[in-house]
Amino acid sequence: MELVSVAAIADNRAIGKDGEIPWPSLPADKRQYRARIADNPVILGRVTFESMLEDLPGAAQIVLSRQAPSYDVETAVVVGSVDEAIDAAGYLGADIGVDTAYVIGGAGIYALFQPHLDRMVLTRVPGEYEADSFYPDWDEQTWSIETRTEYEEFTVEEWVRQK
């Protein structure tokens, strides 16, 4: 199972403030993000999952939580560890015929999965923003940019871990 994180980050690695993105909405980014993850399992934290209940992303949601909540959502599975999340992604992916799972946040989840990622898809939002959530730092010596796609208000970079 390939693990790919997907995040929109500012120049200071900001990703959120008070549960919201800290910059004005970027509809083109939301469209490309949703299209990318639509048919795959996604791994996310409880708070991020609960913030998206009205419009859940991905074909299945793997919710990593220490609290082990129960949700009345047919496509959601709650797990208690990174290893359980990776195992669940493998089973769910095989069940729906895909071999990629997307890690979609929040900040703590990105940090937990950083050592396990094969790729990162990062929307680079120009500027620095006040935030309380940040994407984890990574060693650029062990990663390389595979593609860079320019949009009017942002750039999408696809990073690949060097083997």
Catalogue all structural domains in the chain, each as residue range(s) with its CATH number. Answer: 2-161 (3.40.430.10)
Q: Which residue has the tokens 């929109």?
A: 8
* pLDDT, tens digit (0-9, with 9 covering 90-100), for 149-160: 999 999 999 999
**E strand map for 11-135:** 14-16, 41-45, 60-64, 76-79, 100-103, 119-125, 133-134
* pLDDT, tens digit (0-9, with 9 covering 90-100), for 60-97: 999 999 887 788 899 999 999 999 999 999 999 999 99
The number of helices, as runs of H, and strands, as runs of E, in the chain is: 4, 10
Q: Give residue 49's identity as a one-letter amino acid code.
A: F
